[in-house]
Each structure stands twice: as C-alpha cells, then as structure tokens.
Amino acid sequence: MNEIPGALAPSIEAALMSRRFRGFLPVVIDVECGGFNPATDALLEIAAVLIDMDSSGRLKRGATHSFHVQPFPGARLDPAALLVTGIDPHHPLRPALPERDALQRVFREVRHAQRMYACRRAILVGHNAAFDLAFLNAALARTDMKRSPFHPFSSFDTATLAGAALGQTVLAKAAAVAGIDWDSSSAHSAAYDAERTAELFCHVCNLLRGAYREADERACAFGWRDAPPGEPGEPGEPL
C-alpha cells in the first residue's frame, strides 16, 4: 500500500538533507524482474522508499510507493526468477501498470521529495544498486522517457556500506546484525526489500554521523563549504 507524503519538511531539515549528500536526495529503489538481463527481461515490480531527515540530522525511512508493472512486449520471463519472486505476471487480479505509467508515478513522488528537501537531484540507493539502476535505465530507454530525477550512473550500494560498517553483505544478515526485523516470507517483494534496505541505509548513515561532522568541519576549513545551517550568522551552502 502506498503511503501519503506528509507536510513539507521545515527549512532546517531541508538544509541539513541537501547538505548531507551534496544536493543529492537518496531514494531507495528495488525492482523485481523476470530475469537478470535488463535489456531483455521484464520489469515486474518497482518500489521507491523515500528517506527523511529530522532536525538533528538523523535519517529515517519515509513513505513507500510501490507498483506492479506489466511486462513489455516481447519481454523474457525466466521461470526460475518467477519462482523466487512468487510473481504471476498474468494473474487476472494483478493490478499492473504499463512501464511508463509506473515510472511516472514513482518520479512524481521523488520530485515532490526533492522539492521538500531542496535537493537538485535524486540518487538511487539499492542493495546491489547496479542491478536496480540498470533495470531502471533500461526501462527509461524502452519508454523513451527523456527526464529522470535520478543520477544516470551514480548510486549508493547498501551491500558495500553494510559490508564496511557491519561485516555483512547479504541484506537479511546485515539487517539482523543491525537489529532490523526481517521476515523471510515477505522477502523478494519490491516494497518489503526496499523498506528494509532503507532502514539499513539510515542505520549505517546514522552510525557515521560523528565521522561526517568531522569531515564537514574539515571541508569548511578548506573553504569548500560554508558553516552548517543553524549556526548564528552563517548561511547554509548554496546548491
């Protein structure tokens, strides 16, 4: 079920978020597909989970937007992949949308969040993010969509982040050691995996808040940035 975004973030949250990732807004994307080849295999589900920030600079999971997607004409559907995901692409009660429609709905929510947090662009967060970004970019090319809110090749990979911070690269194991609930029976749903990935991303980033503050202070000393927002008499960094 899609959640309805709340009110616009207050200015301090927007200033902190836009500063934290250099004007990029992290958005978790998870896709479930009919195989592993983005050029030939169907995109069957896409979920986007927004990332919010509070006035202390801590990240937290935001709204989830998830859509079933119709296989594009001629798409390959690998039976082994469908067995893992449990998706029946041809089920008569499956509320699937055409690829272009699903992407437009996701992008609408992402752009709204960009405006909330004064960020100039979104950046994809994923567990093994290259996979999700490849399928997203392939769908963009197929549907001839010219404008995407996401950076076309950069991403944040929670498999890498969790491996460095927690010593685990498998999503279920990384979630377990981070103290995040994991239900194996719900895994391989785009919305569920994206929500757990979002919680993992927030957990690792919050662990690193002290290191980030030290680095931000050094960046200010180098003259790369203005003082952080909220300090008396000092402007925030312009985008």
Whether the CB-CB separation of 194 and 158 falls below 8 Å is answered with no
Q: Which residue has the tokens 């169907």?
A: 42
188 is an active site residue: yes
- Alpha-carbon gap, residue 52 to 44, rounded angstroms: 27
Q: What tokens appear for 111 in the block?
A: 């752009």
CA distances from 6 to 10, 15, 49 (A): 11, 18, 14
Q: Are strands 43-53 and 24-33 parallel, antiparallel or unpaired?
A: antiparallel
CA distances from 26 to 13, 52, 203, 213 (A): 14, 9, 14, 19
- Alpha-carbon gap, residue 17 to 153, rounded angstroms: 21
According to DSSP, residue 123 is labeled E
* Helical ranges in 75-116 per DSSP H: 79-85, 99-116
Whether the CB-CB separation of 162 and 204 falls below 8 Å is answered with yes
Q: Give me the catalytic one of 90, 151, 188, 203.
A: 188
**Residues belonging to the active site:** 188
